[in-house]
Structure 1
Amino acid sequence: MRQTKTLGIVAHVDAGKTSLTEELLHLAGTTRTKGSVDKGSAVTDGLAMEKARGISIKTASVELEWNGHCIQLVDTPGHIDFSAEVDRALDILDVVILVVSAVEGVQANTLNLWEALKERGIPVIFFVNKIDRLGADLERVFKDIERDLQLQACMLNYLNTHNEDAFTLTEFHDFGKLAGEYPIEKTLENIADYDDAILESLLAEDLLNYHDVYDTAKILIKDAKLVPVVVGSAKMSLGISELLVFIQALFPYPNYSDQTLSAKVFKVYFDERYGRLAHVKVLGGTLRAKASIWSQTAAKDCKINQLLKRKLNSYEPVAELHAGDIGVIATSEAIPAGDVLGTQTTLNTFTPMNTPVLSTEVKAVNEKEYQNLGQALEYLNIEDPLLDFSWNKEDRTFSLKILGPMQTEILKDSLLERYGIATEFFPPKVIYKETPKTTAEGYVRYWMPKPSWAIMTFLIEPGAPGSGVQYRSAVRTSDIATKYQNEVERAIPWSLRQGIKGWEVTDLSITLQEGSDHNVHSNPGDFLLATPMGILRGLEKAGTDLLEPMYRFQIKAPSESIGAITGDLSQMGAQLETPEFIEDSFLLSGRVAVAQALEYPIRFAGTTSGKGRLKFTLDGYDKTEFSEDKTRPYQGVCPLDEAQWILHKRGAFKADERKNW
């Protein structure tokens, strides 16, 4: 079996990530000519929307051979609104190139990416791109990488500062020629922190054997004590071959010894020729065409109609995919992005880079396209489950969760380009939550019309902030049989999707206190139907407080802008921490309500003339004052409308309106 290495390229938007991908493909001989982002000819930007906008929207993978080595290259979107794509890609990567612009340096999404990579323990090599651009400052960027990302960096090459006529790079063994350059001196100090002999030579100002120092640096990088940094320019083909050499030398091939069949779905897309395509990386065993594999999301075996490998802009059928391989499954099954295939348990407990805090509604410009729009949105939801698409057929509305305005623009373009449906998106709204004000009981007696029987009393209690939903049963199985109690527990999440103010309910404890079944009339569906009625009655008695999402912000900006920035934040009701001043910049952290901060990035960019960095991270939910504009109508039939709810769930409504129950 051949050895493969899955190499991901990630970056803040416009750092030159896709240009680097194109240069790597050309260097390896995979492409005859270099693709261009500006000209819309980049290999990994295959969608018409990507070509038109000059940005990556979907993750793309392509294979290259270099000096006898097989590398599976994965190019990811840089815009924060498409971070769900990056999250799924991180699950399949063996090593990552984190691209940083030599002009802009560490930016907001650079921080997000580094934190995600560090949490997952994925080896990283930095590529400082655009060293040929006006405003490039390698010393400042090196300091930012170490200080802002809190790591020890190891420069592996550097710009030859003694050659003013052309951009040339100096290799590690010639670093002695660049004595006095801060990044070089700091690199040697970082290595010396782990090697007494090198430390003694530095203190004594002895001549260093840079070949030996490099050998020590390689060991420290492999042990994850130092993080490697390479400088260059993708557009000028500087530092690219060196980057590949370092990746091969510093990061070994992964060991896929587990023969248990498993694969991770990192992307789903609908192709005109092949239909539904699930892009996967095989993590163990061998995947075969025409076989079936267990989908952990769908909880069933899914038939593999065809296996494919991507070759630049086309797909080639293959008979098998082996452990470590990236390939594509053509299937008629609704396998969603992020799914795990196979029976092996693969827990993903990592923190997502971004969590939706906005919701929007969408409608077709032509009302006759209503049904088609619903089906198209269902397809898009399979491609990106984070959309959490909701189709309320009673009110004829479509709801989506989004990460930001750019995502809305892309969704609108996708619906028009792929499905021919012109749409209108409503202004996004903040997603609030509810929590009980006080303790109350919710009683439900569902015993008519016969045959039916489910009687229960739920105790609803407020929980600690951030505690989520706690459920337990205090009812004996002699009163309510185990099979019925299991249905009650299964119905709890559904019951809390909308509270009395229309939002998801959280931070509460629910106890099934009392109840009874009937040895003749009861069936499992009775308890599924009755549970939301009891829970909502309890919440109605307890009343609910409104919870609003909060951002934690991190700001780095020029010192002269601190007055304007703190003034803006104070007007937004933000909680400010003590600022820290570093040279001609300041760092400021704090918390602010999402609703107050929605438009602030635009104002911040103007205040800092584009020279500041603003990072938002979801930081839980706080109680907020109630107002009518923060509520929303209950979507669908409310369990508090007992007669309609029972009719709805017992089948009086059409079957296709019940399928999402």
Structure 2
Amino acid sequence: MQTVNLGIVAHVDAGKTSLTERLLHATGVIDRLGSVDAGTTQTDTGEIERRRGITIRSAVVSFTVRDRQVNLLDTPGHSDFVAEVERALGVLDAAVLVLSAVEGVQPHSRRIMRVLRSLGLPTLIFVNKIDRAGARVDELVADVRRLLTPTVVPLGTVRAPGTPGASYRPHPRGYDQRLAEVLAEHDDDVLAALVDDLPLDGDRVDEALRAQVAAGQVHPLLFGSALSGAGVPELLDAVAALLPPSPPAESDPRARVFAIERDPSGERVAYLRAYGGQFRTRERVTAYRREPDGRTTATRGRITRLDVVGAATDRAALTAGHIARVVGLTGVRLGDQLGSPAGLDGRSHFPAPTLEAVVRPREASRTLALHAALLDIADTDPFLRTRVAPDGGTSVLLYGEVQREVLSSTLVETYGIEAEFGPGRLMHVERPTGTGTAVEIIGHGFFGTVGFRVEPGDGVDYRREVELGSLPLSFHTAIEEAARAALDQGCHGWPVTDIRITLTHSGYWSPITTAGHFRDLAPYVLMQALAEAGTRVFEPCRRFDVEVPADRLGPVTSYLSRLGARLDGTAAVPAGWRIAGVLPARLELEAQRRLPDLSSGEGLWSSTPGGDRPVSGEPPRRARTDGNPFDRVAYLRFLAQPPSRPVAVRDAGPERGHRSPR
């Protein structure tokens, strides 16, 4: 039996969890439909998910259609939980993008579709809620073609949209002019038939459609209702007939971790999708991980329990194309691969969160417990970065307010910790602007010699100019790890990126020197070199699209320009004009508040992450937690402090400290 790993993706409230329930019911997996409002769905199993009526973690269910086993991943729709969507996309064979016939194409829908197209992932588009008042059909198809993909091909029509009796009627099989025109873009035979006005039989059209769907070149569109079941049989037919199955098994064992949860007993459960080989219970495996700085690390573990999803599979072993729940791999994290590092490119399709908030327990005695709990939660969310804040709290990176509320509820319900979140602050980054060098010779307060040269680079690039045998390997490892960790705080306290670090000098005093001495010394020398090179601070931006009435184009563009936006262009749309550009993230809320007044209440604003740009004027600073390695005396005093009591250095930097003689 063929296997298809299919993801359901959507903007929040488009109805994808309800659609998942309907698919399970239509294929006989469940005999009663669950309700999101009642908290009785198959995939929203967490207490917080049931209470809030939203999907937070990716969930896997399985059903059979024709000769295929479909492993269905229901992913979160809220943009605050994009990390879950990120990992699910990495293991899918195909996707169904769900839109609402009422709300239409929404910002998160556009973001997801952009990623699906960049991956070339075969994708069906299902327009849900055709039986809801205000449902649109022709206008929505035009929006999909304009905002999501120009190669959308509707496979049917809707009768009585916006009424309880709305139904979906598929087009008759065979020649369709619009479909043939889209297929001709990537099929010379179809193009020749159109040009020469030759007949095209249904089999040839179906063959071309399947090939182009599999290549991610064409996106079939269907309509329906998860509530009434309209269009669901046709969606299942499209899943069986148009989507490609999992690719052939690879020669070497390989499986990827795409979700992690805890079962009721507290055991850690990892979800794996296999690409080759076999994985069995009691087998020892190697897990490979691509670290944020680009390194690949490996850990060993043993599978103590393995449960393959889907009754049609051999439960004794996980094989290519299938998904399993695995217990025993306590050290794995999302994105790790078992058996082989092949394909671990570390590329992220969604940007990292840009909002930093400090979390403190309501009971001061639970500070360490709170930090440990957040570290445990971060193991299941690769984008949730934590660090000890200068005042003893714990800072976390978040996407938004909903994620903060869910995190707060998780801390209470899972760990018994009531926490308070401080106001969020936008994260900036630093990039080196020149080249700097620094050397610290053994005997001047440190039991080791380290020299660094830093210069602009791509990501974080660490190199050595010294002989690898000049130090024991553990000392080289300590220097590199400490240098990479030190980049969390640059000259202004922000993380440093796009930098090349070269180790130029090394030395040690046997048997006195230890790896710990190098862990203390490397950050100090690196920051000295970085101060000489200089850095520039960059702020996060948002890429926006604004639709305004024709007579409000001038006032809106004038205001956005004064606000500091970069306008990339305008285009005529049926309702007026669409303005595209980039705006600093700190100004987006202000722009959204002013838009109704400037557009006579008819402006529509949508945005996605838009990279970053240099800060003009005095750059903002971030409180340090590393004792200020720009000041030798302050740094040595920091090293003498107990590890559990970090020294806050709020305004220190290279221009406020002093450079030590080298």
Amino acid at match of 1:384: D
Alpha-carbon spacing, 1:209–1:260, altered in 2? closer, same or farther (3 Å): closer
Note the aligned Cα RMSD (angstroms): 3.6
For residues 418 and 628 of structure 2, the distance between their equivalents in structure 1, rounded to whole angstroms, comes to 31
Counterpart Cα distance in 1 of 2:510 and 2:162: 90
Any conservation in 2 of the 1:119–1:350 contact (CA below 8 Å)?
no
1:252 to 229, 233, 244: 244
> What pairs up with 1:164-243 in 2 under 5 angstroms?
166-173=165-172, 186-191=178-183, 213-214=205-206, 216-243=208-235
AA partner of residue 448 (structure 2) = A
- Paired residues for 1:12-91 under 5 Å: 12-91=11-90
Which stretch shows the higher mean deviation, 299-308 or 602-611?
A: 602-611
Q: Which moved more, 1:295-304 or 1:540-549?
A: 540-549
Residue 370 of structure 1 aligns to which amino acid in structure 2?
A: T
Deviations 1:368-402 (A, max 9, x none): 3223212211111111121111135x742201111
Q: 1:349 to 1:489 in 2, by over 3 A?
A: closer
Choose the corresponding residue for 2:627, options 625, 637, 655. Answer: 637
Query: 101-110 or 209-218: which moved more?
Result: 209-218
State the AA in 2 paired with 1:24.
L
> Bigger CA drift: 476-485 or 395-404?
476-485
Shift of the alpha carbon at 1:633?
A: 2.0
Residue 618 (1) aligns with residue 610 (2): yes
Q: How many Å separate the matches in 2 of 1:332 and 1:143?
A: 48
SS state at 2:564 partner:
coil
Match of 1:278 in 2: 270
With 125-134 and 523-532 compared, the bigger mean Cα shift is at 523-532
Paired position in structure 1 for 2:144: 145
Inter-partner Cα distance in structure 1 for 2:378 and 2:333: 8
The reply to whether residue 320 of structure 1 matches residue 321 of structure 2 is no
Name the residue aligned to 1:106: 105
User: Percent of aligned positions with the same letter in both sequences?
Assistant: 30
Deviation of the 1:412 alpha carbon: 0.9
Partner in structure 1 of residue 414 of structure 2: 418
Which of 497, 500, 506 is the equivalent residue of 1:506?
497
Q: CA deviation at 1:127?
A: 0.8
Query: 10-19 or 549-558, which moves further after superposition?
Result: 549-558
Residue by residue, what CA displacement relative to the aligned partner does 1:7-56 show, whole Å, maximum 9, x if unpaired? Answer: 11001111111111111011011111111122222211112222222211
The Cα shift of 1:271 comes to 2.1
Q: Give, in whole Å, the separation in 2 of the partners of 1:162 and 1:25.
A: 25
Instruction: Identify the range of structure 1 (364-373 vs 467-476) with the bigger mean alpha-carbon deviation.
Output: 467-476
- Quickly say closer, same or farther: Cα 1:531–1:32, change in 2 above 3 A: same
Partner of 1:116: 115
What is the distance in 1 between the residues matched to 2:192 and 2:450?
Answer: 76
1:239-262, CA deviations, whole angstroms, 9 ceiling, x for partnerless residues? 111111111111232234224222
* Contact 1:395/1:636 (<8 A) preserved: no
Which amino acid is the alignment partner of residue 226 of structure 1?
Answer: V
Paired with 2:601 and 2:325, the residues of 1 have a C-alpha distance of 44
Render the CA deviation track for 1:68-108: whole Å, top value 9, x for unaligned.
Answer: 53111110111111111000001111111111222222221
The residue that corresponds to 2:557 in the other structure is 566
Q: 1:557 to 1:495 in 2, by over 3 A?
A: same
Counterpart amino acid of residue 277 in structure 2: G
The 1:495–1:99 alpha-carbon spacing in structure 2 relative to 1, beyond 3 Å, is: same
Structure 1 Cα separation of the partners of residues 374 and 259 of structure 2: 16
Match of 1:180? none
Matched residue type, 2:333: P
Instruction: Give aligned pairs, total.
Output: 638
Distance 2:204 2:468 in 1: 72
Cα offset for 1:210?
5.8
- Taking the aligned partners of 1:417 and 1:603, their CA distance within structure 2 comes to 40
Give the Cα separation in 1 of the matches to 2:469 and 2:233: 72
Q: Residues of 2 paired with 1:275 and 1:478: CA distance? A: 43
Q: Helix, strand or coil for the counterpart of 1:255?
A: coil
Partner of 1:408: 404
TM-score (normalizing by structure 1) = 0.86
More moved, 302-311 vs 118-127: 302-311
Does residue 299 in structure 1 map to residue 290 in structure 2?
no
Give the Å deviation of 1:237.
Answer: 0.6
- Cα pair 2:86 2:348 within 8 Å, conserved: no
Classify the secondary structure of the residue corresponding to 1:578. strand
* 2:441 match: secondary structure: strand
Mapped to 2, the partners of 1:638 and 1:196 lie a distance apart of 65
Contact 1:84 1:354 in 2 (8 A): no
Distance 1:96 1:454 in 2: 54
Q: Letter of the 1:87 partner, please give it.
A: E
Cα deviation, residue 321, structure 1 = 2.2
User: Normalising by the residue count of structure 2, what TM-score does the alignment of the two structures yield?
Assistant: 0.86
SS in 2 for 1:569: helix
SS class of match (1:294)? strand
Distance in 1, Cα, partners of 2:200 & 2:273:
44
Distance 2:63 2:329 in 1: 29
Q: Which AA in structure 2 matches 1:245?
A: D
Q: Which amino acid aligns with 1:401?
A: L
Deviation at 1:342, TM superposition (A): 1.8
Q: Aligned runs of 1:385-400 on 2, under 5 Å? A: 385-391=382-388, 395-400=391-396
Return the letter of the residue paired with 2:7.
Answer: G
Please name the residue that 1:369 is paired with.
Answer: 366
Alignment gaps of 5+ in structure 1? 177-183
CA-CA distance at 1:570 after TM superposition: 3.2
Please tell me the residue identity of whatever aligns with 2:629.
P
Query: Does the residue aligned with 2:335 lie in a helix, a strand or coil?
Result: coil
C-alpha displacement of 1:310: 6.0
| Alpha-carbon contact 2:21-2:42 (below 8 Å) kept | yes
Given candidates 458, 464, 488, the residue that maps to 2:452 is 458
Residue identity in the other structure for 1:426: G
Distance 2:469 2:35 in 1: 71
Alpha-carbon distance in 2 for matches of 1:163, 1:616: 30
- Name the stretch that deviates more: 129-138 or 422-431: 129-138
- Give yes or no for contact 1:441–1:459 (8 Å, CA) kept in 2: yes
Residue 131 in structure 1 maps to residue 130 in structure 2: yes
- Decide whether the 8 Å contact of 2:432 with 2:534 is kept in 1: yes
> For the Cα contact (< 8 Å) 1:6–1:71, is it kept in 2?
yes
CA distance in 2, matches of 1:37, 1:224: 31
Distance in 1 between the 2:418 and 2:506 partners? 51
Q: Is the 8 A contact 2:91 2:256 kept in 1?
A: yes
Contact 1:275-1:332 at 8 Å conserved across structures = no
Of 5-14 and 290-299, more deviation after overlay is shown by 290-299
Structure 2 residue 543 is matched with structure 1 residue 552? yes
Alignment match, 1:495? 486
Query: What amino acid maps onto 1:397 in structure 2?
Result: G
CA distance in 2, matches of 1:551, 1:509: 28
Q: What is the CA–CA distance in structure 2 between the aligned matches of 1:251 and 1:423, rounded to whole Å? A: 46
Q: What secondary structure sits across from 2:131 in the alignment?
A: coil
**What secondary structure does 2:383 align onto?**
helix
Q: Following the alignment from structure 1 to structure 2, what is the Cα–Cα distance between the partners of residues 511 and 443?
A: 12
Looking at structure 2, the residues matched to 163 and 417 of structure 1 have their Cα atoms a distance apart, in angstroms, of 41
Q: Tell me the distance in 2 between the aligned counterparts of 1:655 and 1:131.
A: 58
Single out whichever of 515-524 and 495-504 deviates more from structure 2: 515-524
* Aligned: 1:346 with 2:343: yes
1:427 maps onto 2:423 in alignment: yes
Task: Find the aligned partners of 2:232 and 2:520 in 1 and give their Cα distance.
Answer: 62
Q: Which residue of 1 aligns with 2:375?
A: 378
Q: Secondary structure at the match of 2:139?
A: helix
C-alpha separation in 2, matches of 1:610 and 1:327? 49
- The alignment partner of 1:618 has SS state of strand
